[in-house]
Structures are given as C-alpha cells and as structure tokens.
Amino acid sequence: MVGSGLAFVGVNATVRALGTDLPAAQSAFIRYAFGVLFFLPMLPGLMRQGLPAGALPLLAWRGVVHTAAVVFWFFAMARIPLAHVTAIGYLSPVILLLAGALLLREGLTRRRMLAVALAVIGTLIVLRPGLEPVGIGHLGQMAAAACFAGSYLFAKKLSAFVPATVVVAMLTFTVTMGLLPLALLDWRPVSGWHLAGLALVALLATLGHYLMSRAFSVAPLTVTQPVTFLNLVWAALMGSLFFAEPVDIWVILGGGLIIGAISWVTWRERPAPAPTAEA
C-alpha cells in the first residue's frame, strides 16, 4: 500500500507538472490511450470469451461515470495543490458509504452516520469556506470524488460475475472511447514532453492499481486502509519540494479526519474471524 500510494502521488505530480497547456479531456484521453496499449494483448481472448448476460450495460455505464470522473480530476489536478486533491479525494469512500446504504441496501447504521459527519467536518477543515478561497479546481475535485464513487459502485456490482482483470481492461477501453469525442472538441498540438509525461502517468497508475490489488490479496482492509493516509503526507511533501506549495496543516488535519473516520468504520465492521476447533 505504501508503494501504491507513492505511485499514485507520482501520477498526481506528473499531471501537475504538465500544467494546463492541454485541455483536461485531451490529457485524459492520451493517458488512457497509453493504458489501452497495456491491455491490447487481452482483447482477442476477451472477444472470444464474451461477457455474461447483463454485464455490458453495467460496463458501459461505468465507463460513462468514470469518464466524467477522469475529466474532473485532470481539470482539478492542474489547478489546486497536490495535498488538496488528495484530501478531497478521500471523500470517495464516504460517498460510497451513503450510496451503499441507499442503493445497495447495506444499511446506514449510527456508526456510518457518525463517520459521514466526521468526514464532512474534515472536508470543511480542508476547504475552510469563507476563510480560504474555494476555487473551481476544488469544486472539480469534489465532482471527481463523487463520480469515482459511482464508478466503484458499478465495479462492486460487476465483481460478482466478471473477473477483475476483465473489469479493469473494459474500464480502460470504455473510458478511452468516452474521452475521444470530448478530446476532439478542442484538440491541440501535443509536444513530446506531454506525450512522455502522460505515458509515465499511465505506467504509474497501472503500477499503483497492481500494487493495491496485491496488498488487498495479502492483508485485510483494516490494515491497508489507514496506510492510505500516507498519500496525503507524500502529496504535501512533493508539492512543497517540487511546486513550492506551502504545507497546510489544516489540509493534513482535515484529510486525516476523513481517512480516520473511514478506517474506524472499516475496522469496526470487519467480519468476525471464523471459530477454530480446539485441539
């Protein structure tokens, strides 16, 4: 999880360094087009295997929602400090708590309601409306967090009957197709610097997802979830060292409160260990 967090912070820093020379949709399309190259060898086998009944609409809708999330994220990433992006991004699992209760009928317990309340307080600490300017980049990242949560909901539904590798591959294909028309609306010349940077983004994102999957396979969420708080630390350090962004203690505290609330719920709601037979 530490390696995964460093990879994702590398993604953020690279996009931040590329700046706003290219529209968000075009940058996102090029990044996902490189991602398609990683999954092209899977395409013939995927076409031969086919998809279970009912999977295609879910995959398509997930592609639509994730496309919106990626555009919002690229837009925000180039406009607000790295630590702000990371802290606000922690809202995705909070939104998932609410969506799981309302849409998947998982129940909204008092514990979950308290976690949501703490996360809202954490968000207000990060943004401090009235004391600090809340720009369009902050609003874009909040929209990205909501859309990413929607994408994860579709992924959860798909995980019941579609292999994880197929879910990830189809996400890459559908998002690339969804971004293409948006990118063509305002296509601008692409420099070699931008191509190299977005290729690095695709590589780091793929590595981050792989390392996260490996962590999930060997450790419970109660172990891996709190480690994601380190992402905020890495983001604050990288923003300070490479982009002259001041380390804002309120952003650290607010982000810590959000991830702490989620980690607490995850720990409290972990499955009970199976009873073992006595010798």
Which tens digit of pLDDT belongs to each residue from 179-223?
999 999 999 999 999 999 999 999 998 888 788 777 766 776 556
C-alpha distances out from residue 118 to 114, 123, 182, 245, 258, Å = 6, 9, 37, 26, 7
Greater confidence (108 vs 6) lies with: 6
122-150 average pLDDT score: 85
The pLDDT value recorded for residue 108 is: 67
Average pLDDT of the segment spanning 108-115: 77
- Report the DSSP beta bridge partners of residue 129: 132
Cα separation, 12 vs 235, whole angstroms: 8
pLDDT value at residue 179: 95
- pLDDT bin (cut points 50, 70, 90) of residue 276 is very low
- 59, pLDDT greater than 80: yes
- Would you state the pLDDT for residue 275? 47
Bridge partners of 104, per DSSP, are: none
* Contact (Cβ atoms closer than 8 angstroms) between residue 257 and residue 125: yes
Name the least confident of 17-21, 62-66, 183-187.
17-21
Q: What's the chain's Rg over C-alpha atoms?
A: 19
Model confidence band, residue 272 (pLDDT cutoffs 50, 70, 90)? low
- Residue 82 near residue 238, CB atoms below 8 Å: yes
- The CB density around residue 276, as the number of other CB atoms within 10 Å, is 6
Averaged pLDDT score across all residues of the chain: 82
